[in-house]
Amino acid sequence: MIVMSEQRIKILIVDDVAETRENLRKLLSFGQGFIVAGEAENGKEAIALAKRVRPDVVLMDINMPVMGGIEATEAISVEVPTTTVIIISVQGESEYLREAMAAGARDYLIKPFSADDLVNTIRRAHEMDAKRRLRFAPVPIAQRRTGRIVTVFSTKGGVGKTTIATNLATELASHARKSVVLMDLDLQFGDVAIMLDSIPIRTIADIAKEDEIDSELVEACLLTHKSGVRVLASPLRPEQAEIVTAKHVEAILTLLAETHDFIVVDMPQGLNDITLTALDAADKILLVTTLELPAIKNARLCLEIMEALGYDQDKVKLVLNRSSRDIGLSIEEMEKILRRSVDVHIPSDGRVVVPSVNKGVPFVASAPSARISQTIRDLARVIGDGDADTVAAAAAVATEGAAAAAAATAGVAGAPVAAGDGRGRGARRRAGISGRIFSIFTGG
Ligand SMILES: Nc1ncnc2c1ncn2[C@@H]1O[C@H](COP(=O)(O)OP(=O)(O)OP(=O)(O)O)[C@@H](O)[C@H]1O
Ligand SMILES: [Mg+2]
């Protein structure tokens, strides 16, 4: 239920004519529950004042010197989103009115209007906005939720995010017996449903279509996979992705975290409003990379950005997928470039992964004894226990052999390898790759 505030509605009056401002004050005094928090003579003043006093409602004239009401409405809607703008205009300004509404105004009044018209319009617009804000309240996640959000992310495509996310969620749901939602945030080209051989009836787009979002709506849009994982699928068509905004994602994550143990989020590559919202809300970010040059370069940039965003070192876990492949770069070299060590090694195993993808059966279910499944199991156990610090240790046990094999082929990490030093062409090739990466970051 939505509880409306009993406090008085704080109003800012914006009009270039002093007499009009005075009249509005008088009309407002007929209604109860209003307080005039300030007056401005033009749009520019209005923006500055709105930022300072954060009024609930701005009564905005359209035509004013210095800066008009439409431009000011747009700025206030963006910069003080908790403020509701109501436009005051005269007959014959209908073209302006359309523009004002598009700029973010909630309602309008056409002169002359009565005190009742004014009071009712303010109350109605303020109430509607308050309801809307309550629905999309900014992350009260920290106070209310119990579930943990794990995002599987990369800044490079095709590194194995969906493979890891689907198997991790399946493992958590089936073996760890947790209530798990797998959310497909790859909104344009999500693969989660197909990887689980499922056909969604409803998707995240069906949630985004609604004005109000609550738990029942979100639950009604989940499908249940036979492993027990509840899936929130991405839209059925790429163009439907547009209707899903960061606010929706924030609200959905908040609601899901209130009712489930884990929310595993399969992310698209790249940083934008939506991915940043999910990353902010996450308890753990699994940053996936492979031993390939572009993936490493992007992982490093991503780690730098996450540090700048103030994310805890422990919040971000570095996952090296296909870590057992010898592709000319050692894990040590990569760790040196990234200035941190790999937390989780996932081996390469095309013979297990590819048929699993094609059949739509997660490999933790179809090949539970494979080493790659064991790695996911260790990852799930550690995430499930909430003991993040042992992620590395647990995963390393399962992949010891792989890491050792890769390390054995690596040469001396970071040290320049002279031609003819007896270590052969492979070592020289690796030194070249390493040099290229260093030059990317040193600008050389
Ligand atoms: N450990 C692995 N061993 C062998 N093959 C793998 C492994 N991990 C992923 N793959 C294969 O790599 C391909 C890409 O994986 P996936 O779709 O999970 O990547 P992604 O990061 O989600 O890609 P996108 O950025 O397009 O969403 C898949 O075809 C999968 O079969
Ligand atoms: Mg994917």
Cβ neighbours of 4 (radius 10 Å): 11
Between the CA of 188 and the centroid of ligand 2 the distance, in Å, is 11
The residue whose C-alpha atom lies closest to atom 16 belonging to ligand 1 is: 160
Say how many Å lie between the CA of residue 163 and the centre of ligand 1: 6
CB neighbours (10 Å) of residue 65?
10
Query: Is there a single domain that holds both residue 283 and residue 164?
Result: yes
Residue 101 and residue 212 share a domain: no
Domain's final residue, options 117, 135, 153: 135
Q: Are strands 284-289 and 107-110 parallel, antiparallel or unpaired?
A: unpaired
Q: Return the DSSP state at 8.
A: P
Domain contains 116? yes
* Closest-CA residue to 88 (of 79, 97, 80): 97
The reply to whether 429 and 362 lie within a common domain is no
Q: Is the CB of 161 under 6 A from ligand 1?
A: yes
- Do both 281 and 319 map to the same domain? yes
Q: Report the nearest atom of ligand 1 relative to the CA of 354.
A: 31
269 within ligand 1 shell (Cβ under 6 A): yes
- 132 CB neighbour count, 10 Å cutoff: 15
Q: Is the pTM of this model over 0.75?
A: no
pLDDT tens for each residue of the chain, 444 residues long: 222 234 689 999 999 999 999 999 999 988 788 999 999 999 999 999 999 889 999 999 999 999 999 999 999 998 898 899 999 988 777 788 888 888 999 999 998 899 999 999 999 999 888 877 766 655 444 445 589 999 999 989 999 999 999 999 999 998 767 899 999 999 999 999 999 999 999 999 999 999 889 999 999 999 999 999 999 999 999 999 999 999 999 999 999 999 999 999 999 998 898 999 999 999 999 999 999 888 999 999 999 988 888 898 889 999 999 986 666 788 999 999 999 999 999 999 999 999 999 999 999 999 999 999 999 998 887 787 554 433 443 444 344 333 333 332 232 232 222 223 333 333 333 344 344 444 444 443
CB of residue 179 inside a 6 A radius of ligand 1: no
Q: Which atom of ligand 1 is nearest to the CA of 163?
A: 18
Both 91 and 164 in a single domain? no
53 located within any domain: yes
| Helix (H/G/I), strand (E/B), else coil: 184 | strand
Q: Which of 260, 225, 185, 262 is nearest to 365 (CA)?
A: 225
- Out of 196, 353, 364, mutate this one to test ligand 1's pocket (max ligand atoms within 8 Å of CB): namely 353
**Half-sphere exposure for 163 (CA within 13 Å, toward CB):** 29
CATH of the domain at 39: 3.40.50.2300
**360: alpha, beta or left, given left = phi > 0 and alpha = psi -120 to 50?**
left
| Any atom of ligand 1 within 6 Å of the Cβ of 290 | no
Q: Does any domain span residue 255?
A: yes
CB of 157 within 6 A of ligand 1: the answer is yes
As for how many domains the chain has, the answer is: 3
pLDDT in tens, 248-273: 999 999 999 999 999 999 999 988 98
Please report, for residues 50, 68, 165, 417, the alpha-carbon distance to residue 367 in angstroms, rounded to integers and kept in the order given: 60, 66, 17, 41
- The residues, any chain, with a CB within 8 Å of residue 74's CB and separated by 6 or more, are 103, 104
Q: Are residues 293 and 361 in the same domain?
A: yes
For the segment 369-408, what is each residue's pLDDT rounded down to a tens digit?
999 999 999 888 778 755 443 344 344 434 433 333 333 2
Instruction: State how far the Cα of 405 lies from the Cα of 210, in Å rounded to an integer.
Output: 53
Residue 131: domain span:
9-135
Residues 269 and 203 both lie in one domain: yes
Among protein residues, the one with the nearest Cα to ligand 1's atom 23 is 158
Can you state the angle between helices 94-102 and 69-79, rounded to 10 degrees?
Answer: 20
- Residue 4: inside a domain: no
Q: Which two tokens stand for residue 32?
A: 């109860």
- Is the Cβ atom of 158 under 6 angstroms away from ligand 1? yes
What does residue 347 show for φ and ψ, rounded to 5 degrees? -70, 165
Would you say the CB of residue 234 lies under 6 angstroms from ligand 1?
A: no
Do you find a cis peptide bond into 55, omega within 30 degrees of 0? no
> Looking at the domain assignment, is residue 202 inside a domain?
yes
Contacts of residue 343, Cβ cutoff 8 Å, sequence gap at least 6: 317, 318, 319, 391, 392, 395
189 and 313 in a single domain? The answer is yes
Give per-residue pLDDT as tens, 92-138: 777 888 888 889 999 999 988 999 999 999 999 998 888 777 666 55
C-alpha 159 to ligand 2 mean position (Å)? 8
Same domain, 172 and 103: no
In a domain, 3, yes or no: no
* Residue at 2 is within a domain: no
Which residues have CB atoms below 5 A from the ion given as ligand 2?
A: 161-162
The CATH number linked to 327 is: 3.40.50.300
User: Are residue 75 and residue 188 in the same domain, yes or no?
Assistant: no
Quick one: 57 and 145 in the same domain?
Answer: no
Examine the domain organization and report whether 306 and 431 are in the same domain.
Answer: no
What is the number of the ligand closest to the CA of 321?
1
C-beta 356 within 6 A of ligand 1: no
CA-nearest residue for atom 26, ligand 1, is 158
Report the candidate in 176, 173, 183, 180 with the shortest Cα–Cα distance to residue 152: 183
In a domain, 1, yes or no: no
| Ligand at shortest distance from the CA of 352 | 1
